[in-house]
Amino acid sequence: MPLQEINFDGLIGPTHNYAGLSPGNLASALNAGKIAFPRAAALQGIAKMQANLALGLTQGLFLPQDRPDQEWLEQLGENLTDAEPHMRAAAWSASSMWAANAATVSPAPDTKDGKCHLTVANLMTMPHRSHEWSGTLKQLQIAFAAASFRVHGPILPPFGDEGAANHIRLCHGHGTAGIEIFVYGKNGGAYPVRQHIEAGKAISRIHGLDPARTLFVQQSEKAIAAGAFHNDVVAVANEHVLFAHELAFADKGSFYVALRTLLPQIEIIEVPAKAVSLADAVKSYLFNAQLVSLPDGGMALILPTEAQDTPAVWNWLGEMVKGNGPIRRLIPVDVRQSMANGGGPACLRLRVVADPADIDPRFLADREKLDGIAILVDRYWPEQIAPADLENPALIAIVRQARKALIDHLDLARDLSGTSD
Ligand code: SUG
């Protein structure tokens, strides 16, 4: 089978909650302390996957991790009962749902050894995400165990790496050699910079990328300061199309020149700040869309419904699709529970270009499998979690049972059972 793009979505876990753990992520701060609805959240994520399958796209999935992560707290001399609230919340976070931060992926046509390379993200900047990588690595090693893949451990600290959310790939078609772009931050005003240039450079070497087709591009300080804590909040690409905000990059002039030299047929669709402010871009997450090639031709933007609710954004997009550009369809999806923590449709997925036959089928989705998971979610996922619920020992048993039901259902019990997966 030829190589194709597969979107792996993180199933939203039973501990989904709003703890305000990510400074610089405006939605996370704004919704801190609110009641979260894990069951509705997971069903929204599943509905997005079902809709993508119905478009004819290939869909994969990752499982939620074992949370609360008692082992992590114990390594820090804490326990779930007595932990300080911010540490307890960090142990409970369902943040692995945002699979765009799981790994950086270099498809086989881009690499020296002709294998698809994946480096698990270390996510070291935010404490609640810093203990995700070991569980993610375990799933990557199972899903991508075939000889056509190479799965790598995390880049060493202190070099922050947040995975595909800061990585752009442009190419003629998914299965042909691409240009890989590592976007890094240098300064974010009051907010932390999560992606370091050294991490991108290390990944490019480890993956065996061609230096002549690899770019390192700085994210604009203005974008980070406006709440673009990952580049995928202000830019997205698919095949030969780059869709970006005017203020996404520090030096877009030389970046665009380099792109046009390396890929002459590139189409850069830039949204001007005077049409859509950075504030509206961050609030609506229009760039955190899945920009996908449809099987019957043309591209679609799968965007959060918040984009539809933001007049400047929706008007601009309406004009764009009326033109003769490559993006032909706008498909809003409701992922409001994830959005309230700063995670849009594109955050929820990791793109892997591969032959689906090489992937462990337990990580691939079809309609029936997702229907089955939705039944489990309905049955086992808590309806709601308020901040005080994280102190309730009874909730621990409930969320562990929920995850166990899912693991058993997907026939992964032998592979994923320890506390750190
Ligand atoms: O890392 N939110 C995530 C959102 C990640 C979005 N991913 C991409 N842009 N690709 C983050 O900031 C909030 C958790 C809380 O506050 O409870 C959180 O972790």
261 φ, ψ (degrees, to nearest 5): -70, -45
Let me know the angle formed at the C-alpha of 191 by 186 and 197, rounded to the nearest 5 degrees: 25
Ligand 1 close to Cβ of residue 110 (< 6 A) = no
The catalytically annotated residue of 167, 196, 230, 245 is 230
Contact between 350 and 103 (Cβ < 8 Å): yes
Ligand 1 close to Cβ of residue 93 (< 6 A) = yes
- By most ligand atoms within 8 Å of CB, the mutation choice from 8, 25, 35 for ligand 1 is 25
Residue nearest atom 11 of ligand 1, based on CA coordinates: 22
The catalytically annotated residue of 132, 162, 180, 246 is 162
Query: CB within 8 A of 341, min separation 6: which ones?
Result: 16, 18, 22, 25, 27, 28, 31, 95
Domain ranges across the chain? 4-409
- Determine the distance separating the centroid of ligand 1 and the alpha carbon of 403, expressed in angstroms: 21
- Determine the distance separating the centroid of ligand 1 and the alpha carbon of 177, expressed in angstroms: 31
Ligand 1 close to Cβ of residue 95 (< 6 A) = yes
Q: Which CATH superfamily is domain 4-409 in?
A: Succinylarginine dihydrolase (3.75.10.20)
Ligand 1 atom at minimal distance to the Cα of residue 230: 9
Residue 230 annotated as catalytic: yes
Ligand 1 close to Cβ of residue 129 (< 6 A) = yes
0.95 cut: is pTM over it? yes
- Determine the distance separating the centroid of ligand 1 and the alpha carbon of 21, expressed in angstroms: 8
Rounded CA separation 244/338 (Å): 22
Ligand 1 close to Cβ of residue 100 (< 6 A) = yes
Bond into 68 cis (ω within 30): yes
Ligand 1 close to Cβ of residue 337 (< 6 A) = no
Element containing residue 405 per DSSP (H, E): helix 393-409
Ligand 1 atom at minimal distance to the Cα of residue 194: 1
Ligand 1 atom at minimal distance to the Cα of residue 128: 19
- Determine the distance separating the centroid of ligand 1 and the alpha carbon of 28, expressed in angstroms: 7
The catalytically annotated residue of 116, 180, 245, 347 is 347
Q: Three-state DSSP class for 94?
A: coil
- Determine the distance separating the centroid of ligand 1 and the alpha carbon of 39, expressed in angstroms: 18
Contact between 268 and 244 (Cβ < 8 Å): yes
pLDDT reported for residue 213: 98
Residue nearest atom 5 of ligand 1, based on CA coordinates: 343
Residue 78 annotated as catalytic: no
Ligand 1 close to Cβ of residue 230 (< 6 A) = yes
DSSP per position, 240-265: TEEEEETTSBTTHHHHHHHHHHH-TT
Residue pLDDT tens, the chain, 421 long:
689 999 999 999 999 999 999 999 999 999 999 999 999 999 999 999 999 999 999 999 999 999 999 999 999 999 999 999 999 999 999 999 999 999 999 999 999 999 999 999 999 999 999 999 999 999 999 999 999 999 999 999 999 999 999 999 999 999 999 999 999 999 878 888 999 999 999 999 999 999 999 999 999 999 999 999 999 999 999 999 999 999 999 999 999 999 999 999 999 999 999 999 999 999 999 999 999 999 999 999 999 999 999 999 999 999 999 998 999 999 999 999 999 999 999 999 999 999 999 999 999 999 999 999 999 999 999 999 999 999 999 999 999 999 999 999 999 999 997 555 6
Residue nearest atom 10 of ligand 1, based on CA coordinates: 347
Bond into 107 cis (ω within 30): no
- By most ligand atoms within 8 Å of CB, the mutation choice from 35, 195, 347, 351 for ligand 1 is 347
Beta-bridge mates of residue 218: 184
- Determine the distance separating the centroid of ligand 1 and the alpha carbon of 43, expressed in angstroms: 19
- Determine the distance separating the centroid of ligand 1 and the alpha carbon of 289, expressed in angstroms: 15
- Determine the distance separating the centroid of ligand 1 and the alpha carbon of 356, expressed in angstroms: 28
Residue 171 annotated as catalytic: no
Ligand 1 close to Cβ of residue 341 (< 6 A) = yes
